[in-house]
Amino acid sequence: MGNKVLDMPSNYKKTQGINEALGHMEKLDFESQISVLRQVTSDMGYSEVGSPPTQEETGKTSSL
């Protein structure tokens, strides 16, 4: 494995806020970094919601 997830464009300039956020992330242990990133993606609308169970699976009929 390499040491990068992806390269940034050569003309990209990080803001002070980005530098501070990355600095805080780098101080966390791996598990904490993953927890923070999961929370961020959750707040962005990502979810692992799957298809609802069928009537056959639940044994219940539709309420409509």
> What's the whole-number mean pLDDT along residues 20-48?
86
| Residue 36 · residue 28 · CB < 8 Å | yes
Distance CA 20, CA 30 (A): 18
Report how many domains make up the chain.
1
**Distances 64 to 25, 55, 58, 61 between C-alpha atoms, Å:** 48, 13, 16, 9
pLDDT, greater one: 26 or 56: 26
- State the pLDDT confidence band at 2, using cuts at 50, 70 and 90: low
Model pTM above 0.75: no
Domain annotation covers residue 28: yes
Residue ranges making up the domain that contains 29 = 15-40
Domain annotation covers residue 36: yes
Domain annotation covers residue 31: yes
Residue 12 identity: Y
Domain annotation covers residue 27: yes
Domain annotation covers residue 23: yes
